[in-house]
Structure 1
């Protein structure tokens, strides 16, 4: 690690004099430092700061040549064998390149650490946000943010694109599990807590040095309110259009951002989607007028992945001009970042984008880097510490994740008090989802879309049951052999998915998302119940599933959401070591035709209402 310890100590000669003593942020105003840098910067250096490239498409030499302000990794993009040391070495090399430039401005490295440092194998994978919404526990959300920050900082990463502050208004949207729920108030409370956990409060000039990370409020704005069928293919909802009057937009989708902005969230990511027909990436009224001018957001905005391509225009240059003039400060162009630089440079030289707008964007980026403490600590101290390896997937963090799992479980049904189970009972467990880390973790886990199998380290639901049971436990993925057991635990759920691929698609299609257990799962449940065994149904999903018949036929039912790497938390509740606490963060529909259904609707009549959740006394 000796080589890593000396990473990022290089300074350009001009910056060495200019930035000497920046540790004492309070002695000299950040605004003055920003102004001093801006006066020295060329147009190329300014536009470089506004550019974010993906790690597979930009080298450290590119950082030096083009003065790049930021690097990110996409989902499933990681260095080498995906070890912590490889992450630190990679980011250190980028940072050395940035610090060796004329002005020595550090870069900021971003990742989607959205439920733990979920790109890193072996990291603690926390339940997805919909589950955190079910806990109603802001203190827990803050602790999860802090643990995520610590594991993220240990790899040298400075910035996470989290939390998502969407308000999920339609279960057909494949990103619904990234939301804390359908209530703006719930999202606002938990989002603020999560920001505070990630950043340690407001960015204070020592954030990175304190082993915290910069947070991102996303996706501005109303990504959770898009109209089904507003996508290009007729059924898509992701990247669609939110059609609301201004008052409703404010009340439902803007309101949850206010607490995060008050907490000093470091960045805001703009949504792929549209509001009333205008793509957010060119929506000056909402990005500059609302977010920056009215709400006073003075840090920087970041585009989503290659999102400028969503703007309906004939040329890339026109898209660049419209987005920057709308108020985008940094642009995430993973592969085509050179074209972005060329087009923005030409646009400025032609007067299509003013130098005032460029200076505003760059000053916001520099201000955030100074507030984060990147000039003083280009890598978090933990990243180059001998203690860092022990932080990744630590017992403390896994215990926190297990707590989050058990607090998020929502008991939907418990006829004849079947739960909690007797630990001496003869238990039959069925279903693929009972014994698969990938299935229980969902999307954004190592790979962008997630995947089946042992994608990372952790404990499956089955392993948790086996560890807590004092009786015989039999497992059959297919549900064969249930007869003779005292109780059956049948675990059903969705395949992993992320944005786009998770949208509800009616059959026939190549990758349909039916929002219901598959035919094979329904047959498996029927096979178990035919054996005459009392059945506990555990649902592993990112949203309510349409399964009214299955819920009616089971003696007990539990919504387990996407629990992440610590599946033993499910067993904690099933066996009564902990009573169920979770309350539905979203309304559970009776049928597909009833979607969308949300608290406050006229004639509101879901199968289970928002806030529903049974409990029982511990034995």
Structure 2
């Protein structure tokens, strides 16, 4: 077990002792260097055995896609993580690591894992029970690879679709986001009937440490700018953006991540009022606060604020575990120096380490530090893919169904003689999954295992039905008169964070022209694959026969065919207001305006019944 003191019966090693007693005992044995090590989280690429052991590193993470090698299987991940854990247990005190990953819509760094719809699609379902089940499935697939922590859920309330993280938000409506926080219970397990307020909770080896993010107001920045400035009174910040965190805390969420963004020009990573006085003191949060990736670096200003000052600002504000992916030695040395000089108190260090150890003890990491390999078969299993397919079905929002108010266009006839399928997103699994899939920015093509929209259409079509596919419709194909109907799938390329900030919101990749050319020739269903509402010109809407907002559905395109061909009806309702022109933005539930294309809560069924929240 390592070079721990001779007394192997020490309190912190005894699972029968109360957690707080174990924390006090272990903390009393730690040096300043070991405490600072526990506050440090590093990227696995630089995590050498010597660094882990000598510095008593508290956490490791894999950036999205940072695995053992390309297309590594779950067992390869388990070997990787267990190797790091072995090094941690060989340190003087044998404190296990917390290993984190961005499993934000399934275990999306692992080849063959189940990829669920991104949050905006789940918000369209309004189904808290479904979202909790998705949390349970994700937890199993994450723990199967030895990882114990996911940096999820994002509980941002997105007030502007120009924001590049719009799809990571469940809704523009605070109440819908609050409802979807049920995923915390799915990830961590059902909270006991009697549980201390604000205390972290992880039920067992089939559950993971959840992380509510990004505290707070990241979805409300001015003009939807990523890492921008949220200009609000404290009362509005609390009512709109902070409320979902109360629900997460009430479910025992173990960690919370600070936002890169600012509130009234004060960066959250340095905001002691919000991180300590509100989150920890007023709300009673007893877990620990993560910084975001290299979040301390964001505290530098154009005048060249030095890194030492960044460390001081963040730690004194209330950050407990600091994500310093690569240059961690500089952080460790800087923090030790700040404590020895008195600029950061030992009490602040002890508070941070107590919180980190509390989560590790509650999560059972001391008793079960290694992978539970009996879970390996859960990764990408049929049960989880069926759940993802159900989520796709329930997330689809039908925005138009027929040019004639008395006649529906959908459902389509799966036994039609000849169907044509067009568009950049019809047969592209990477586009279908979006960002945070196999790598940070997502990918193009068959990046993992799954079913594209075209795959699903072919599987659903009758034995006598011919399915003709072209990514870009040719003039010869459009000139044919023997198609029963066309299905056009277009939308956004994958993007993440600030790379997705967009002030125009037009359908990219020539999507509008593809729709127009097909709809001029053939009765057309358009499936829009996107992380947010996009610009839909009135002339374009008039041309098409039916329109579905499919969001970013993930790996199980079969859910789209299930609904398009009538095996299931549409249930999804808009989680955001659909604008007419980008000049209207921000346009959301808090704006006194009715000049929208489709309101929050809109969604048709095949029977033309309109559903509104």
Common topology (TM > 0.5): yes
Residue 327 of structure 1: aligned partner: 318
Residue 479 of structure 1: aligned partner: 473
Q: Is the 8 A contact 1:108 1:158 kept in 2?
A: yes
How far the C-alpha of 1:207 sits from its partner, in A, is 3.9
Residues 481-560 of structure 1: pairs in structure 2 closer than 5 A: 481-482=477-478, 483=480, 484-505=482-503, 514-518=504-508, 520-531=510-521, 533-549=522-538, 550-560=540-550
Residue 212 of structure 2: aligned partner: 217
SS of the equivalent of 1:256 reads helix
Against the structure 1 CA distance between its residues 104 and 189, is the aligned structure 2 distance closer, same or farther, given a 3 Å change threshold?
A: same
Matched, 1:53 2:48: no
Matched, 1:91 2:91: no
Residue 226 of structure 1: aligned partner: 221
Segment of structure 1 superposing worse, 89-98 or 316-325: 89-98
Segment of structure 1 superposing worse, 52-61 or 560-569: 52-61
Aligned partners of 1:437, 1:615: CA distance in 2, in Å? 27
CA deviation string 1:500-523 (max 9, x = no partner): 110015xxxxxxxx4221362222
SS of the equivalent of 1:588 reads coil
Number of matched residues? 586
Residue 233 of structure 1: aligned partner: none
Residue 453 of structure 1: aligned partner: 445
RMSD (Å) for aligned C-alpha atoms: 1.7
Among 254, 268, 277, the residue aligned to 2:256:
268
CA deviation string 1:381-408 (max 9, x = no partner): 2xx23xx332110000000000000100
Matched, 1:360 2:355: no
Aligned partners of 2:39, 2:7: CA distance in 1, in Å? 19
CA deviation string 1:198-234 (max 9, x = no partner): 0013499994743110000000000000002xxxxxx
How far the C-alpha of 1:104 sits from its partner, in A, is 1.0
SS of the equivalent of 1:210 reads coil
How far the C-alpha of 1:346 sits from its partner, in A, is 0.4
CA deviation string 1:319-357 (max 9, x = no partner): 000100000001000011111101100000000000000
Q: Is the 8 A contact 1:14 1:102 kept in 2?
A: no
CA deviation string 1:213-271 (max 9, x = no partner): 0000000000000002xxxxxxx700000000111111100011111110000100000
Aligned partners of 1:127, 1:537: CA distance in 2, in Å? 19
Residue 23 of structure 2: aligned partner: 34
Matched, 1:101 2:88: no
CA deviation string 1:10-48 (max 9, x = no partner): 673457322576333xxx221111111111110000000
SS of the equivalent of 1:214 reads coil
Aligned partners of 1:287, 1:335: CA distance in 2, in Å? 25
SS of the equivalent of 1:16 reads coil
Segment of structure 1 superposing worse, 244-253 or 595-604: 595-604
Among 400, 406, 426, the residue aligned to 2:387:
400
Aligned partners of 2:591, 2:401: CA distance in 1, in Å? 28
Matched, 1:391 2:378: yes
Aligned partners of 2:203, 2:497: CA distance in 1, in Å? 29
Aligned partners of 1:592, 1:552: CA distance in 2, in Å? 20
Aligned partners of 2:363, 2:7: CA distance in 1, in Å? 18
Residues 335-354 of structure 1: pairs in structure 2 closer than 5 A: 335-354=326-345
Q: Is the 8 A contact 1:211 1:380 kept in 2?
A: no
CA deviation string 1:286-307 (max 9, x = no partner): 0001100000001100000001
Aligned partners of 2:83, 2:227: CA distance in 1, in Å? 35
Aligned partners of 2:275, 2:542: CA distance in 1, in Å? 47
Against the structure 1 CA distance between its residues 21 and 38, is the aligned structure 2 distance closer, same or farther, given a 3 Å change threshold?
A: closer
Aligned partners of 1:589, 1:16: CA distance in 2, in Å? 64
Residues 417-428 of structure 1: pairs in structure 2 closer than 5 A: 417-425=408-416, 426-428=418-420
Residue 188 of structure 2: aligned partner: 199
SS of the equivalent of 1:71 reads strand
CA deviation string 1:145-168 (max 9, x = no partner): 000000000000000000000000
Q: Is the 8 A contact 1:122 1:392 kept in 2?
A: yes
Q: Is the 8 A contact 1:437 1:452 kept in 2?
A: yes
Segment of structure 1 superposing worse, 139-148 or 595-604: 595-604
Q: Is the 8 A contact 2:122 2:395 kept in 1?
A: yes
How far the C-alpha of 1:411 sits from its partner, in A, is 0.3
CA deviation string 1:112-148 (max 9, x = no partner): 0000000001000000000000000000000000000
Against the structure 1 CA distance between its residues 150 and 421, is the aligned structure 2 distance closer, same or farther, given a 3 Å change threshold?
A: same
Aligned partners of 2:7, 2:469: CA distance in 1, in Å? 63
Residue 430 of structure 2: aligned partner: 438
Residue 70 of structure 1: aligned partner: 59
Among 262, 273, 287, the residue aligned to 2:275:
287
Against the structure 1 CA distance between its residues 342 and 306, is the aligned structure 2 distance closer, same or farther, given a 3 Å change threshold?
A: same
Against the structure 1 CA distance between its residues 368 and 300, is the aligned structure 2 distance closer, same or farther, given a 3 Å change threshold?
A: same
CA deviation string 1:410-451 (max 9, x = no partner): 000001300001111121110020101001000000010001
Aligned partners of 1:171, 1:23: CA distance in 2, in Å? 48
Q: Is the 8 A contact 1:209 1:377 kept in 2?
A: no
| Length-normalised TM-score, structure 1 | 0.92
Residue 611 of structure 2: aligned partner: none
Matched, 1:44 2:39: no
Aligned partners of 1:209, 1:258: CA distance in 2, in Å? 23
SS of the equivalent of 1:217 reads strand
Stretches of structure 1 that go unaligned for 5 or more consecutive residues are 1-8, 229-235, 506-513
Aligned partners of 1:20, 1:309: CA distance in 2, in Å? 35
Residue 574 of structure 1: aligned partner: 564
Aligned partners of 1:452, 1:551: CA distance in 2, in Å? 28
How far the C-alpha of 1:75 sits from its partner, in A, is 1.6
SS of the equivalent of 1:289 reads helix
Aligned partners of 2:125, 2:415: CA distance in 1, in Å? 29
Matched, 1:16 2:5: no
How far the C-alpha of 1:94 sits from its partner, in A, is 1.2
Segment of structure 1 superposing worse, 298-307 or 78-87: 78-87
